[in-house]
Amino acid sequence: MHLDDVHIISRDRRDQLGEGPLAARDGALYWVDIIEQRINRLSLSDGAVSNWVMPEMVGWVIERRDARGLVAGFRSGVKAVVLDPASPTPVSIEALVDLPADEPAINRMNDAKADRDGRLWAGTMPVSCDVPTGSFYRIEADRSLTRMDDGYHVANGPAISPDGRWLFHTNTVLGQIYRFSLDGATLGPRELWLQFESDWGHPDGMTFDAEGGLWVAHWGGSRVSRFDPDGKIERAIHVPASQITSMAFAGDSFDRMFITSAADGIDEPHGGCLFEVDPGVAGLPPHRFAG
């Protein structure tokens, strides 16, 4: 794909650390700016962009299945957030799940996905990104929380295969994508599925398309890539920013791909922009939290 095929979403600011894009039922794309503590919203019908400042760093947003609004991964835990596109002030923010008492104070929540049964799979990481104090958690609809794995510098990009049999998770700093078997709430042993090559950058956010291809954002690699089930790159889409963080399928047919990026620590004209590309394949509707 040529850069001319990459559309830069027009807005009045760039993200210091854009992450966690989500296609929502209200015809909008939501995503966060972790460093600036913002939740952003793009109307897919008219291109209007809104944002709300949060009281803490927020790493992701996911829709609720049976309740109004979103759940969001704040530094301190999971909170329910209700937003009004017509107002810059959140309607409400309510604590749902606090992180465990033994979670290091240097950590924050970073990335999460819901599965088909409505539970959350969410990681934590140190704000400094340089010590392996992060963990990986399962959060049930009853708001119970279980630590499933640990030792993460940057816990990133959980992605669940379309058939629900596999969960993929990343330690970005080490350049490693892990695969776990998934049977309901049971997670199998961690296995190394893919080690990024040194000239690829580092693996960040991930999502599956409807055909089972795994899309991975390349932090420091200026692209997103589609991997086949054997871990081979099947295609890549290059974008004019180096720090690419995540992507999501959106639109009525989930055939529009939006890509987030970060401006933090770099001097690039398009770092921190939100991009839209044609992925050449459709995605799937995201699952929602049942709690």
DSSP 166-187: EEEEEETTTTEEEEEEEETTEE
191-195 and 176-183: which strand pairing? antiparallel
What pLDDT does 4 receive?
Answer: 52
Could you tell me if residue 186 is inside a domain?
Answer: yes
Tell me the C-alpha distance between 1 and 191, whole Å. 32
Number of domains in the chain: 1
Q: Kindly tell me if the per-residue pLDDT of 24 is higher than 70.
A: yes
Residue span of the structural domain in which 224 resides: 3-277
Could you tell me if residue 286 is inside a domain?
Answer: no
pLDDT class for 3, splitting at 50, 70, 90?
A: very low
Q: Kindly tell me if the per-residue pLDDT of 195 is higher than 70.
A: yes
Interior/surface letters 51-84, b for 16+ CB within 10 angstroms, e for the rest: bbebebbbbbbbbbeeeebbbbbbbbbbbbbebe
Tell me the C-alpha distance between 70 and 58, whole Å. 12
CATH number at residue 256: 2.120.10.30
Could you tell me if residue 179 is inside a domain?
Answer: yes
pLDDT tens, residue by residue, 69-110 = 999 999 999 999 999 999 999 999 999 999 999 999 999 999
Q: Kindly tell me if the per-residue pLDDT of 2 is higher than 50.
A: no
**DSSP type of residue 142:** T
| Percent of the chain that is helix, strand, coil (3-state, to 5) | 0, 50, 45
Q: What is the mean pLDDT of the chain?
A: 96
pLDDT class for 150, splitting at 50, 70, 90?
A: very high
